[in-house]
Structure 1
Amino acid sequence: MLAEMTTCLRDRGREEYVARLLRELGVEVVLELEEVDPQFEAAASLCRVLGLDGAVATYLVAVATYQLKCSGEVFWSRFSEYMRRVVPDKVVEGVVGFILGDECSSIQRQVKVGRVLKLSRYIGDVRYFISSCNFLELWKLTYRALNADANSKTVVFAVKMGYYGARALNICGGPLPSEIPIPLDRRVARATLNLGLLTVGSPEDVMRCRDVVLESWRDIGRSSGIPPIHIDLLLWALQNPNTLAKALRRVGRREEVLKALLKLVKQYGNTEDSSEEVH
Structure 2
Amino acid sequence: MCGALDLAWEPGSGAAALAITVNVHRVKALASVLREAPASAIDVIELNDPQYHAVKKLVSIHGEAAVALAAANALISYRLSMPGEKYWMEFAGWASKRPRPGSGRELVTEMKEFLAESRGNRMVGLQKARRLERALPALEKLLREPRKYSNLGLLVRELAGALGARLEEKTIVFAAKMAYYAYRALGIEVSGKDDIPLPLDRRMAVLTSASGLLDAPPDRVFTRHRAEAVKAWQMVAAESGIPGIHLDAVVWLPAQGIERNLRIGLEYAREEYACKLVDYSRGVIGWGLARRVAGEILYRDPYSMHS
| Alignment correspondent of 1:194 | 210
SS in 2 for 1:85: coil
User: How does the TM-score come out when normalised to structure 1?
Assistant: 0.83
The answer to whether structure 1 residue 264 and structure 2 residue 289 are counterparts is: no
1:229 equivalent among 242, 245, 252: 245
Alignment of 1:1-279 (within 5 A): 2-3=6-7, 8-90=20-102, 92=107, 93-127=109-143, 130-132=146-148, 133-172=150-189, 177-200=193-216, 202-207=217-222, 208-240=224-256, 241=272, 243-249=276-282, 253-255=284-286, 258-267=287-296, 268=298
Note closer, same or farther for the CA distance 1:65–1:125 as it changes in structure 2 (3 Å cut).
same
**More helix by percentage:** 1
User: What is the identity, as a one-letter code, of the residue corresponding to 1:261?
Assistant: A
User: What is the identity, as a one-letter code, of the residue corresponding to 2:72?
Assistant: L
Q: Distance in 1 between matches of 2:40 and 2:70?
A: 23
Contact 1:178 1:221 in 2 (8 A): no
* Distance apart, 1:27 and its partner CA: 4.5
Mean CA deviation greater in 28-37 or 40-49: 28-37
Task: Give the unaligned 5+ runs of structure 1.
Answer: 271-279
SS in 2 for 1:86: coil
**Percent identity between the aligned chains?**
26
Q: What's the CA shift string for 1:80-115, capped at 9, x where partnerless?
A: 111111234436043232123324333222221222
Task: Give the unaligned 5+ runs of structure 2.
Answer: 9-16, 257-271, 301-307
Q: Distance in 1 between matches of 2:23 and 2:62?
A: 46
Note closer, same or farther for the CA distance 1:128–1:227 as it changes in structure 2 (3 Å cut).
farther
User: What is the identity, as a one-letter code, of the residue corresponding to 1:66?
Assistant: Y
User: What is the identity, as a one-letter code, of the residue corresponding to 1:104?
Assistant: G
Q: Distance in 2 between matches of 1:182 and 1:148?
A: 16
Q: Distance in 1 between matches of 2:299 and 2:233?
A: 21
SS in 1 for 2:36: helix
Q: Distance in 2 between matches of 1:141 and 1:40?
A: 23
User: How does the TM-score come out when normalised to structure 2?
Assistant: 0.77
User: What is the identity, as a one-letter code, of the residue corresponding to 1:116?
Assistant: L
Note closer, same or farther for the CA distance 1:229–1:187 as it changes in structure 2 (3 Å cut).
same
Contact 2:135 2:162 in 1 (8 A): yes
* Structure having greater relative contact order (Cα 8 Å, sep ≥ 6): 1
| Runs of 4+ deviating beyond 4 Å | 3-7
